[in-house]
Each structure stands twice: as C-alpha cells, then as structure tokens.
C-alpha cells in the first residue's frame, strides 16, 4: 500500500511538471465524457418523452373514423360523413378477438356556466369503458354508471383546466353547471394529463355519457368515431385487420369498393416513432463516440511524450535495481491517474448539467448508470493501453541505452 501511494505521488509530480499539457489533455477527456453522456441523455430523454406521450394517449389504441371513400371521383376525408353507429362499436368488441374494449365517441364544444364564470371546453360523449381504454384515472368523485348511460343522465366529469376556469378553488364534485342553459351535475374530476402529442390540452374537457351528448346536445343518432383498445400492442395489427373486415361486412361494402371508414392504429405510430428515435440515438451515439476517440488520442499523445521524457529517469531506476514491472508501473500510472481525474470531473459536470437541463429543456434526461460506467471503463482502458505500450518499450530497454538518452 505504501509503495502504491509512493508511485501515485510520483505520478502526480510527473504530471505537475507540465501542468498546461496535463490540463489540456484532461480537458479532452472531460469533453469526451461530457459529450457522450450529453448525447445519450438527449436520446434517452427523447425516447422517454415520446413513450410517455404515447402511453398518455391510451392503451394499445386504435381509432375508427367515418369517411375516406370515393364518390364521383372524389375521396372524402375521415370524419366527413356519418357512417358509424353505436352498434358498430358493440359489434367490434363482441366479434373481434384481438379487441379488448371499445367506446363510441361523440364530441362537440358548448358554453358551460357555473355561477358567474363561463368556459367553452370540448365535451366528449363516451361509455363506461372510456377510463380503461384511455388509462385516465380520477382525482376525485366517480365515473358515471351504465344506468346513467342508458337513461342519458346529465352527469359529467371535468378536467383540470375546466376546474381551474370555472370553480376557482371549490370542490366541483356535486356542483351543478349549466350546459346550453340545461343543468348538468358534476360527479367526478379527472387527473391532469397535460398536452397531447398534437399539442392540444387534454384537460380542457368534459366527459359525459355518449347518449346524453347525442340526444341532449347534438340531436343525432350516429357517432363521430370509435375508440378501441387492443388486447396487446402486438395484437393491434390483427385488431386493425379484424375491424376492417367486420365493418366492410356490416356496411355491405363490395370487394371492389373503397371503405367508408378509416382505421388508425396508434401502435403503428408508436413503433414508427420508436424506430426513428433509435436511429437518432444511434446517430448521436456515433457523434459522441468520435469525441471518445479524440479524448483517447489525447491521452495517448501525452503519455507517449511523458514516457519519452522520462527515459533517462527509468534508466537510473533500472541501474539502481528496480524491476521492469516497477518501472512500467511508474511510467504508466500518470496516464491512468490523469484519466481518472478527467473522468471524475467529466461525470460530475455531465451529471450536474443533465440534472439542471432536465428541469427546463424538453428531450433531456439524466443518463442511466450503465452509460457512466461504460464511458469510464472505455477511457480507463484507453489510458491504460496508451500508457503501458510506450512504458513497456522503454522499461525493456537496456539500462545503458536509457542512460544515454537525451
């Protein structure tokens, strides 16, 4: 232990002889470590953000929209016609084995009044499966029942944005609001969800039985879309195929005719986003790897120069009885110590910067421990190799030859 401490002390003295060169080399290591960790943090942060947004949208989601068919040489867009019914949603859940749950959806906007406050949120009419499909929990209160749905009761749940704009700190549960001058009773408050992947405020909403919105707000019998949850993400493609076949059959669409509906599979969108993110992470990692190589070359350069400068010193050590192993350790240790110092400072800088930026910048997160360990091991191995190679060559020279070195 004493010998090791002595060698370390000697190594630090050797590095101190050329402070500027040692600082610049250590700076290369710090930049290399910081660049790799920063790039990985950006990649991981983007992946986590996209995954959270997709998970926030719901569980293995698919949507069925009316429209997207040809008529007289013109293709209508999704949602431009009324071809979906509640019976379609029921049939999809009953007959498609890859489907877990469905809900019909009708939506509108209407002025909502409470006391002397008013607001214009979106109003979504759904069935009792909605919370399980959307993965939306309650802050307080309860969801409406199947009986409320069947009898088209004027009951609703409100999102956080609606609460903030109408109730001003009051508990909304049990309060009566007026929607187009008709009284509606608030039975629950939804937990905040924030913005959707498209940037809309998901909390600026009122959820009610679809029958209530159909009959008492819109006066329609069709539905605007069907929200579907597949039994798993892998089964979503199968669910899409089953839904398409079933609706074509139900809508009596001939084999040579276009669909009068559109099925959108959010799992495909999630997979595409995930693949794109992997490519971006790989690109960022490749750029960061270049920084690692540059830092490693810097360590190799200074060690080659340092070992060459100490040739005569090694000759004296060998002449006085030092072994080749001791000579190699004394030559190689400065590079390893330099690398350890650079890695420590680099990790501390990257950790502090990443933690700070993660609170203010989208797509940044603190890198996982595996990244820190991997970068540290890489630089230590490069430093050890860069130090041992020239040290081995010098230490194996004849002492007389090393003593004659300039």
- What pLDDT is recorded for position 160? 93
- What pLDDT is recorded for position 270? 62
In terms of domains, do 158 and 208 share one? yes
User: Mean pLDDT score of the chain, rounded to an integer?
Assistant: 79
Residue 155: inside a domain: yes
In terms of domains, do 227 and 190 share one? yes
- Total count of domains within the chain: 2
In terms of domains, do 366 and 292 share one? yes
Residue 340: inside a domain: yes
> Under a CB-based contact definition with an 8 Å cutoff, are residues 96 and 247 in contact?
no
pLDDT digits (tens, 9 = 90+) for 38-78: 777 777 776 666 666 666 666 588 999 997 544 444 444 44
Q: Which tokens go with 2?
A: 């004493």
Helical spans, DSSP H, in 112-169 = 130-134, 146-150, 160-166
Element (H, E) at 151: none
Residue 61: inside a domain: no
| Segment among 57-71, 96-110, 123-137 with least mean pLDDT | 57-71
Residue 180: inside a domain: yes
CA-CA distance, 14 to 18, in Å (whole number)? Answer: 8
In terms of domains, do 109 and 25 share one? no
- What pLDDT is recorded for position 350? 77
In terms of domains, do 323 and 377 share one? yes
Residue 358: inside a domain: yes
- What pLDDT is recorded for position 265? 85
CA-CA distance, 208 to 127, in Å (whole number)? Answer: 8
State the pLDDT confidence band at 8, using cuts at 50, 70 and 90: low
In terms of domains, do 14 and 102 share one? no
Length of the chain: 406
Residue 255: inside a domain: no
Of the candidates 218, 250, 282, which is a domain's last residue? 250
Residue 175: inside a domain: yes
290/150: higher pLDDT? 150
In terms of domains, do 360 and 291 share one? yes
Extract long-range pairs of 372-376: CB within 8 Å, 24+ residues apart. 372/37, 372/347, 375/32, 375/33, 375/36, 375/37, 375/292, 375/343, 375/346, 375/347, 376/33, 376/343, 376/347
Share of the chain above pLDDT 70, in %: 69
Element (H, E) at 367: none
In terms of domains, do 231 and 317 share one? no
In terms of domains, do 241 and 106 share one? yes
- What pLDDT is recorded for position 204? 94
In terms of domains, do 100 and 31 share one? no
- What pLDDT is recorded for position 79? 47
> Under a CB-based contact definition with an 8 Å cutoff, are residues 368 and 41 in contact?
no
In terms of domains, do 362 and 224 share one? no
In terms of domains, do 137 and 212 share one? yes
3-state secondary structure of 31: helix
340/229: higher pLDDT? 229
Residue 263: inside a domain: no
Q: What is the mean pLDDT of residues 240-252?
A: 94
Q: What is the mean pLDDT of residues 173-190?
A: 94
State the pLDDT confidence band at 251, using cuts at 50, 70 and 90: very high
DSSP string covering 203-270, please?
A: TSEEEEEHHHHIIIII--SS-SEEEEEESSSTTHHHHHHHHHHHHHHHTT--TTSPPSEEEEEHHHHH
Domain range enclosing 47 = 2-53+273-403
């Amino acid at each position: 232990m004493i010998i090791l401490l002595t060698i370390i002390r000697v190594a630090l003295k050797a590095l101190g002889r050329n402070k500027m060169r040692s600082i610049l080399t250590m700076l290369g290591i710090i930049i290399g470590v910081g660049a790799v960790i920063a790039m990985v943090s950006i990649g991981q942060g983007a992946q986590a953000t996209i995954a959270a947004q997709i998970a926030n949208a719901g569980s293995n989601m698919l949507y069925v929209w009316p429209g997207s068919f040809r008529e007289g040489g013109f293709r209508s867009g999704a949602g431009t016609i009324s071809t979906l019914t509640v019976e379609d949603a029921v049939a999809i859940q009953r007959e498609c084995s890859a489907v877990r749950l469905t809900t019909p959806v009708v939506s509108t906007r209407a002025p909502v009044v409470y006391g002397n406050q008013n607001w214009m949120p979106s109003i979504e009419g759904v069935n009792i499966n909605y919370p399980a499909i959307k993965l939306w929990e309650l802050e307080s209160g309860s969801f409406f029942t199947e009986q409320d749905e069947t009898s088209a009761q004027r009951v609703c749940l409100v999102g956080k944005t609606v609460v903030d704009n109408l109730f001003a700190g009051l508990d909304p549960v049990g309060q009566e609001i007026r929607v187009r001058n008709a009284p509606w009773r608030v039975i629950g408050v939804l937990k905040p969800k924030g913005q959707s992947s498209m940037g809309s405020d998901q909390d600026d909403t009122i959820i009610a039985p679809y029958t209530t919105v159909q009959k008492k707000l819109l006066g329609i019998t069709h539905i605007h879309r069907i929200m579907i949850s597949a039994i798993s993400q892998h089964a979503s493609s199968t669910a899409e195929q089953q839904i398409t076949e079933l609706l074509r059959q139900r809508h009596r669409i001939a084999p040579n005719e276009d669909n009068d509906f559109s099925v959108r599979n959010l799992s495909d969108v999630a997979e595409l986003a995930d693949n794109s993110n992997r490519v971006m992470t790989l690109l960022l990692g490749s750029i960061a790897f270049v920084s690692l190589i540059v830092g490693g070359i810097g360590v190799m350069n200074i060690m080659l120069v340092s070992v060459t400068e100490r040739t005569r010193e090694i000759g004296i050590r060998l002449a006085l009885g030092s072994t080749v192993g001791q000579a190699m350790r004394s030559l190689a240790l400065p590079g390893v110590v330099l690398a350890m110092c650079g890695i420590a400072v680099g990790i501390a800088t990257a950790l502090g910067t990443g933690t700070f930026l993660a609170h203010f910048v989208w797509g940044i997160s603190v890198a996982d421990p595996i990244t820190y360990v991997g970068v540290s091991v890489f630089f230590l191995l490069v430093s050890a190799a860069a130090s041992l190679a020239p040290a081995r060559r010098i230490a194996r020279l004849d002492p007389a030859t090393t003593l004659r070195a300039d």
